[in-house]
């Protein structure tokens, strides 16, 4: 069975992140880097973590189209690497759907220009945002906003969506959205604290509801034994019995 866990290497030193990646390589789909992109720089960060599996770069780009385009370039390669025929890029790169269609399209166009294999994933409504807060920020309920963002991401040419496991069944009712890879954070195995996350579900339920990939951070990285935590979640995923 294909691996489905993306381990979020958040809030730790480069050394600690490498130690965890070394421990979990082969057991997971890959690793998500966020604040490490800032401390290490995107190029060095990508070069380091691709040794341990696939890499999801999660800078959540959100700006005017020209700036999104400029910032995304750092993820698709530099001239020195290209001269050597190397393409070092993330397998997935995140951008914010609320940046709008032109901003998302600017990043998709950069990716195409670089002939990169990177899937562009649009983040819809963060899983830490509650129903009430979504109304305040975006002026509508979570489901309708996630649907709106998903449709604009599709128009912009994105390949994947980041949403909570609670919106999966709803989104998959729309045939046009079925071809987008669904990536879901907000995953908490039974009995693990939700912390700052609001719209959560278990790994088993998320897979059953149609998630392709599960982003899991603290439930693994702060476990006493991260390898054991991954193996338990992998068993739970296998129980759902949905092959990818």
Calpha distance 235→35 (Å, rounded): 29
Of residues 53, 77, 103, 217, which one binds ligand C5P by CB under 6 A? 217
Structure tokens of 82? 């290209």
Q: Which stretch binds ligand C5P (CB under 6 A): 76-84, 209-217, 224-232, 235-243?
A: 209-217
Rounded to the nearest angstrom, the gap between the alpha carbon of residue 140 and the centroid of all alpha carbons in its chain is 24
Calpha distance 122→95 (Å, rounded): 5
Tell me how far, at minimum, the Cβ of 124 lies from ligand C5P, in Å.
7
Determine if 34 is a binding residue for ligand C5P (CB under 6 A).
yes
Contact (Cβ atoms closer than 8 angstroms) between residue 76 and residue 46:
no
Number of residues that bind ligand C5P (CB under 6 A): 16
Rounded to a whole number, what is the distance in angstroms from the first to the last CA of the chain? 7
Of residues 106, 122, 215, 230, which one binds ligand C5P by CB under 6 A? 215
| Torsion-angle region of 66 (φ positive above 0: left; ψ -120 to 50: alpha; else: beta) | alpha
Structure tokens of 101? 């269609």
Of residues 197, 201, 202, 209, which one binds ligand C5P by CB under 6 A? 197
Tell me how far, at minimum, the Cβ of 10 lies from ligand C5P, in Å.
5
Residue among 3, 60, 145, 244 flagged as catalytic = 60
Of residues 5, 7, 8, 211, which one binds ligand C5P by CB under 6 A? 8
Residues between 111 and 140 that touch ligand C5P (CB under 6 A): 123, 126-128
How, if at all, do strands 213-216 and 92-96 pair?
Answer: unpaired
Contacting positions for ligand C5P (CB under 6 A): 8, 10, 34, 123, 126-128, 162, 185-186, 197, 215-219
């Amino acid at each position: 069975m294909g691996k489905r866990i993306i381990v979020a290497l958040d809030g730790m030193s480069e050394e600690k992140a490498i130690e965890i990646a070394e421990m979990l390589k082969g057991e997971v789909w890959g690793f998500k880097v966020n604040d490490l992109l800032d401390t290490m720089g995107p190029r060095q960060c990508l070069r380091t973590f691709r040794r341990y599996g696939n890499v999801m770069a999660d800078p959540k780009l959100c700006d005017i189209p020209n700036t999104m385009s400029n910032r995304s370039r750092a993820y698709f390669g530099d001239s020195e690497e290209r001269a050597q025929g190397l393409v070092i890029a993330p397998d997935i790169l995140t951008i914010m759907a609320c940046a709008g269609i032109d901003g998302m399209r600017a990043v998709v166009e950069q990716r195409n220009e670089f002939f990169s294999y990177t899937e562009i994933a649009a983040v819809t409504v963060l899983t830490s945002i509650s129903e009430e807060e979504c109304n305040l920020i975006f002026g509508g309920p979570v489901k309708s906003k996630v649907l709106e963002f998903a449709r604009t991401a599709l128009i912009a040419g994105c390949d994947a969506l980041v949403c909570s496991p609670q919106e999966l069944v709803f989104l998959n009712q729309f045939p046009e959205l079925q071809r987008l890879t669904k990536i879901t954070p907000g995953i908490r195995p039974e009995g693990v604290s939700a912390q700052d996350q609001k719209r959560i579900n278990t790994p088993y339920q998320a897979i059953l509801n149609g998630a392709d990939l599960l982003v899991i951070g603290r439930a693994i990285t702060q476990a006493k034994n991260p390898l054991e935590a991954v193996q338990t979640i992998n068993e739970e995923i296998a129980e759902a019995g949905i092959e990818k």
